[in-house]
């Protein structure tokens, strides 16, 4: 089946630094990808919709300057957490619809900000 | 975006038992309805999905069904195993953007 890959799976950074997470669709083109944030034992919270070649659409309450999304190609979207702080520590997940209309998720990226 | 009502929030089943998880919607018009399984520290994985041309689909021990009159989708896990212990999500059917409910945390006792 279609595969969505995320990298890195785990990242630890110091407060104030920026971290980039990549989301790739490995065997299909994705004009749209989604980014989620998940806190322990909670559901996926949709952060933004990443659109290839255009600006991302952010959900209410999500700071677009804090969470920069770039979707420069049909197979890659990146999420950059800028000036990260401990409260940004979370599990970030991306997803994309395949050509057959099925939604596939990445493996997730665990961010820890010290 | 329509709301998703998933139940139960948590479920404990004995090994070999049947696990049943339901999702109810206001409007059940859909063209694709997947269930996702998520293990701790991992992203959700597509478990099984159904399209509107069938009311039930079975894959191994997992069955997804659609009750139109009740406006409800159900996931049945037969002969539940400890390895099935995970969180299960149903998203709103169809639509371009998916918003997930709280999920159901399943624990299968050995």
pLDDT band at B109 (very low <50, low <70, confident <90, very high): very high
* Cβ atoms A85, A113 nearer than 8 A: yes
pLDDT band at B29 (very low <50, low <70, confident <90, very high): low
Please report residues of A whose CB lies closer than 8 A to that of B44: 44, 93, 95, 105
pLDDT tens by residue, B42-75: 999 989 988 878 889 999 999 999 888 888 889 9
pLDDT at B101 over 90: no
Residues B75-89, buried b or exposed e (16+ Cβ, 10 A)? bbbeebeeebbbbbb
Nearest-by-CA chain B residue for A6: B43
State how far the Cα of B61 lies from the Cα of B55, in Å rounded to an integer: 17
What is the token pair recorded at B83?
A: 């390895």
State how far the Cα of B66 lies from the Cα of B52, in Å rounded to an integer: 9
pLDDT band at A34 (very low <50, low <70, confident <90, very high): very high
pLDDT tens by residue, A58-113: 999 999 999 999 998 999 999 999 999 999 999 999 999 887 778 889 999 999 99
State the pLDDT at residue A111: 97
- Per the CB < 8 Å rule, is A93 touching B43? yes
- Per the CB < 8 Å rule, is A103 touching B91? yes
CB atoms within 10 A of CB A90: 20
Please report residues of B whose CB lies closer than 8 A to that of A46: 97-100
| Pairing outcome for strands B56-59 and A10-13 | unpaired
pLDDT at B27 over 90: no
Question: Is residue B97 within 8 angstroms of chain A, CB to CB?
Answer: yes
State how far the Cα of B39 lies from the Cα of B60, in Å rounded to an integer: 19
Percent of chain A at pLDDT > 70 equals 98
State how far the Cα of B110 lies from the Cα of A43, in Å rounded to an integer: 26
Chain A nearest CA to B79, separation (Å): 25
Q: Is the peptide bond before B12 cis (omega within 30 degrees of 0)?
A: no
What is the token pair recorded at B107?
A: 């624990």
State how far the Cα of A104 lies from the Cα of A89, in Å rounded to an integer: 23
Please report residues of A whose CB lies closer than 8 A to that of B49: 102
pLDDT band at B16 (very low <50, low <70, confident <90, very high): very high
Please report residues of A whose CB lies closer than 8 A to that of B34: 102-103
**Closest by Cα among B84, B91, B97, B99 to B50:** B91
Question: Is residue B102 within 8 angstroms of chain A, CB to CB?
Answer: yes
Question: Is residue B91 within 8 angstroms of chain A, CB to CB?
Answer: yes
């Amino acid at each position: 089946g279609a595969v969505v890959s995320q990298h890195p799976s785990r990242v630890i950074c110091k407060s104030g630094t920026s971290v980039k997470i990549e989301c790739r669709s490995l065997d299909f083109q994705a004009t749209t990808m989604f980014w989620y944030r998940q806190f322990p034992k909670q559901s996926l919270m949709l952060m933004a919709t990443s659109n290839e070649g255009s600006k991302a659409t952010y959900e209410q309450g999500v700071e677009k300057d804090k969470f920069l999304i770039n979707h420069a190609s049909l197979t890659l979207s990146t999420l950059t957490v800028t000036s990260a702080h401990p409260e940004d520590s979370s599990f970030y997940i991306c997803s994309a619809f395949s050509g057959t209309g099925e939604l596939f998720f990445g493996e997730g990226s665990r961010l820890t900000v010290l | 975006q329509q709301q998703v009502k998933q139940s139960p929030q948590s479920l404990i089943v004995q090994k070999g038992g049947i696990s049943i998880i339901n999702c109810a919607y206001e409007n059940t018009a859909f063209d694709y309805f997947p269930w996702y399984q998520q293990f701790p520290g991992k992203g959700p994985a597509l478990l099984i999905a159904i399209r509107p041309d069938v009311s039930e689909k079975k894959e191994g021990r997992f069955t997804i069904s659609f009750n139109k009159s009740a406006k409800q989708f159900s996931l049945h896990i037969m002969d539940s195993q400890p390895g099935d212990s995970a969180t299960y999500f149903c998203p709103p059917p169809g639509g371009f953007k998916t918003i997930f409910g709280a999920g159901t945390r399943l624990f299968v006792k050995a």
